[in-house]
Each structure stands twice: as C-alpha cells, then as structure tokens.
C-alpha cells in the first residue's frame, strides 16, 4: 500500500529532474554591433552545447539605461570603460570568480592596469578590445571637394565650418554619442576633454550648433555601410569600423580608398569590457563564454575580423600580418601619445551633456 503511494511521487520527481537536466543550456549576450567574428558564437555553441541568444546595441547610453532599469535578462554585457565605472558605483555587476576563468592569465597586464582606473583591482570586468574615436573618410571624394593638397590630419576637417560645409555635399556622419563628441570638441577647443566647467560644454555645444546644418546624420553604426556604399564620404567613428567599411567596399567590387586617422590634436581612447550583470540567470554559462573569449586563438580571430586590437598578450601569434602591422589598428607610440581617456563624469555634467545634445540634434 505504502509503496503504491510513493511510486507516483518518485516518478514525478524523476520527470522534473529529467526535464531540467535535458533543457538546453542558455546564454544571453548583449554586444556592440559589428564587434565579433561571424563564427565566434557558432563555434562556442558547437563546443559547449550552450545556446546563445545574441543581441546588439550601438550606444553606451542605450546599454546604460537598460542596465540601470534592471532585469535585462542579459548574462554578459559589454560596457565601455567610463560607463563601466559609473555602473560599478550602482553595484549592478557580479564580482568575477577568477578560478572559473583559467584563460584570464592570457590578458596583458598593461591593459589590466589601464582598466584598473575604471574597475579597481579588476574585480568585475574583462578588457575585450580598445579603440580610438577619430575620422574615417573616402580619400578621393574628400580631395575632390577640398582639393588635392588639403591637409588631412586635423579635426579642422570637420569642426571648421568652411570645410564641413563643402563636405556636406558628399555626406557627413557623426556618432550619436554625447559622451564622446563633447570631449572630442572640448579637446579641439584646447580645453580639458574631461572638463568639469559647465561653460566649456556650452562652448562646445555652440560649435556643434554652428556646424549642425552640414551634418547629414547622427548614428553610431550606419556609417560603416554608408561609407562603403558611397552614401557619405566622412564620419567621426570608432577606428576598427572604418576598416570594416573598407572591406565591405572591396567585397562589393568598389575601388575606394577609405582611410582612418587620429588627428594631430588628439582623440579619445576607450576600452570595452565584458561583465556579468547581477541577477544573471546563466552565470555558469557566462563564465564558460568569457573563458572561451579569453582563448588567444578565439580573440585573435575576432580581431582579424573586426580590426580592433584586443587585450590578450598571447593572441599576437594568431593575428593576420596585415592587421598587426597596420599602424591605424595597432598605433605606434607617437599616435598612442595623442590619445586621451574619458573619465567618469559627475551626474551634473552628464545631465548637461545630454540636455545640450538634444538641442544640438534638433538644430536649435
Ligand atoms: N561597431 C562599434 C564597435 C565599437 C564599440 N566600442 C565603442 C566604444 C565607445 N568608445
């Protein structure tokens, strides 16, 4: 009698157990657009049996507002350094258990030290790739418009009204990223790019408002294809994206010379980092994924595809020769010396930038 009663309960527990253990393992990854090799996710899924839901964004501001609202459902996300610092103050990430990341040893201590300014003791985030925010352009079109002898090494190309007015004929794109455009303009104006003075931001906004009529659009990913297709001829954007544009143009059989430069006045350098949000449902899978991305061959394959330099010291032997020797991808010392980081800003200045940005975009 007793045995008859316990039997169905046992079956029920067995079914529940089997159902949970047979459910496919899952990982939800939220990454920058155009920021991984086409086979990375597929290879990881094949290797581990973990199903990856992959989604992309093209703006720190968007990622930040989702993370701050909470319960994103993401297991791994990719904030940029100064945004990471701000988010760490809001305690939204899990501290990393390095024992679960045997490949962590491949990271270059030089980059870990740089990241410590944003993530003290490297407790929460893993540096992925880094970049500068400079100017990319179609050399022939720009020369056609501004003349053969135009000097192509200054922010004057875009911040001087005469120049941008002429370039507007062939299309000019700016990143839709106040956190990057304001420091870039401040630096051009000879001010501290991380200024804490409200007046400096008003001055930068004045310059932007003056040239606003000549900016075709503000967007942070569209410029890659538009430059390749000839819909624009110049953009402020992130270094690796312009090599992706050049590849897209070449693959489409177009003879285009797309160049990227860090202007002589200097440009922003930023690091993007991987982190696990608090409350991530699949943190074990997240660790497996992070550890996978830390494999030298895996990260080298990504760099070879997206043209951004990574933070892995053991990946170098696997980098394509034309990538590692390209000074616009791996900049030489004199260019590195012109790069400056963006620091975490006070909430007051952050709010001011957002307010002024809305005005600039609307053209008033
Ligand atoms: N396709 C864009 C990839 C670059 C992402 N990094 C943005 C960093 C912001 N400074």
Give pLDDT tens digits along the chain (364 positions): 555 555 555 554 544 444 444 468 999 999 999 999 999 999 999 999 999 999 999 999 999 999 999 889 999 999 999 999 999 999 999 999 999 999 999 999 999 999 999 999 999 999 999 999 999 999 999 999 999 999 899 999 999 999 999 999 999 999 999 999 999 999 999 999 999 999 999 999 999 999 999 999 999 999 999 999 999 999 999 999 999 999 999 999 999 999 999 999 999 999 999 999 999 999 999 999 999 999 999 999 999 999 999 999 999 999 999 999 999 999 999 999 999 999 999 999 999 999 999 999 998 7
Question: Quick one: 289 and 314 in the same domain?
Answer: yes
Distance, in Å, from the CA atom of 161 to the CA atom of 158, rounded to the nearest integer, reads 7
Question: Quick one: 225 and 139 in the same domain?
Answer: yes
Residue 3 in domain: no
Question: Quick one: 348 and 244 in the same domain?
Answer: yes
Distance, in Å, from the CA atom of 152 to the CA atom of 61, rounded to the nearest integer, reads 30
- Separation of CA 241 and ligand 1 centre (Å): 8
Half-sphere exposure of 211 (CA within 13 A, CB side): 26
N-to-C CA span, the chain: 84
| Cβ-contact 357, 283 below 8 angstroms | no
Residue with token string 């001011």: 352
- Separation of CA 32 and ligand 1 centre (Å): 6
Closest atom of ligand 1 to 224 CA is 1
Provide the pLDDT for residue 363.
82
Question: Quick one: 30 and 74 in the same domain?
Answer: yes
Provide the pLDDT for residue 24.
83
Alpha-carbon dihedral 107, 110, 114, 119, rounded to 10 degrees? 40
Distance, in Å, from the CA atom of 272 to the CA atom of 81, rounded to the nearest integer, reads 6
Question: Quick one: 198 and 346 in the same domain?
Answer: yes
- Separation of CA 261 and ligand 1 centre (Å): 16
Give the E-state strand segments of 152-211 in sequence order.
172-174
Distance, in Å, from the CA atom of 47 to the CA atom of 6, rounded to the nearest integer, reads 40
Distance, in Å, from the CA atom of 242 to the CA atom of 235, rounded to the nearest integer, reads 9
Q: Which of 129, 131, 182 to mutate to test the pocket of ligand 1 (most atoms within 8 A of CB)?
A: 131
Question: Quick one: 125 and 200 in the same domain?
Answer: no
Question: Quick one: 57 and 187 in the same domain?
Answer: no
Q: What's the predicted TM-score (pTM) here?
A: 0.92
Q: Cite the DSSP H helix spans in 23-151.
A: 40-48, 60-69, 81-89, 109-115, 139-146
Question: Quick one: 136 and 232 in the same domain?
Answer: yes
Provide the pLDDT for residue 6.
54
The rounded radius of gyration (Å) of the Cα atoms in the chain is: 23
Any residues with Cβ below 6 Å from ligand 1, and which?
Answer: 32-35, 80, 131, 133, 180, 221, 238, 241, 270, 272
Question: Quick one: 150 and 218 in the same domain?
Answer: yes
**Structural domain that includes position 24:** 8-130+270-334
Residue 182 in domain: yes
Phi/psi at 233 (nearest 5 deg)?
Answer: -120, -10
Distance, in Å, from the CA atom of 75 to the CA atom of 61, rounded to the nearest integer, reads 19
Domains in the chain, number: 2
Q: At 302, which CATH number?
A: 3.40.190.10
């Amino acid at each position: 009698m007793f045995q008859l009663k316990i039997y169905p309960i046992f079956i029920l527990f067995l079914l529940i157990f089997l159902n949970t253990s047979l459910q496919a393992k899952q990982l939800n990854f939220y990454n920058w657009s155009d920021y991984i090799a086409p086979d990375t996710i597929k290879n990881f899924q094949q290797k581990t049996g973990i199903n990856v839901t992959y989604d992309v964004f093209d703006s720190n501001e968007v990622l930040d507002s989702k993370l701050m609202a909470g319960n994103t459902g993401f297991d791994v996300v990719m904030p940029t350094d100064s945004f990471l610092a701000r988010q760490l103050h809001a305690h939204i990430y899990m501290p990393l258990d390095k024992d679960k990341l045997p490949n962590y040893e491949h990271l270059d201590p030089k980059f870990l030290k740089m990241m410590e300014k944003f993530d003290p003791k490297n407790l929460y985030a893993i540096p992925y790739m880094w970049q500068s925010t400079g100017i990319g352009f179609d050399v022939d079109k720009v020369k056609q418009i501004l003349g053969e002898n135009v000097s192509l090494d200054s922010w004057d190309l875009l911040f001087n009204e005469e120049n941008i007015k002429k370039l507007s004929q062939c299309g000019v794109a700016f990143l839709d990223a106040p956190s990057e455009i304001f420091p870039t303009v401040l630096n051009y104006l000879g001010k501290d790019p991380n200024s804490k003075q409200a007046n400096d931001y008003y001055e930068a906004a004045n310059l932007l408002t003056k040239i606003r009529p000549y900016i075709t659009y503000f967007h942070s990913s569209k410029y890659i294809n538009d430059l390749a297709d000839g819909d624009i001829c110049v953009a402020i954007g992130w270094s690796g994206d312009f090599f992706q544009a050049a590849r897209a143009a070449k693959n489409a059989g177009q003879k285009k010379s797309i160049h990227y430069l860090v202007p002589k006045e200097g440009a922003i350098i930023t690091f993007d980092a991987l982190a696990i949000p608090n409350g991530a449902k699949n943190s074990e899978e997240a660790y497996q994924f992070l550890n996978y991305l830390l494999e030298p061959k895996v990260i080298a394959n990504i760099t070879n595809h997206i043209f951004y330099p990574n933070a892995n010291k053991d990946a170098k032997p696997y980098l394509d020769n034309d990538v590692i020797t390209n000074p616009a991808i791996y900049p030489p010392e004199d260019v590195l010396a012109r790069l400056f980081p963006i620091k975490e800003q006070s909430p007051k200045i952050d709010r001011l930038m957002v307010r002024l940005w809305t005005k600039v975009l609307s053209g008033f």
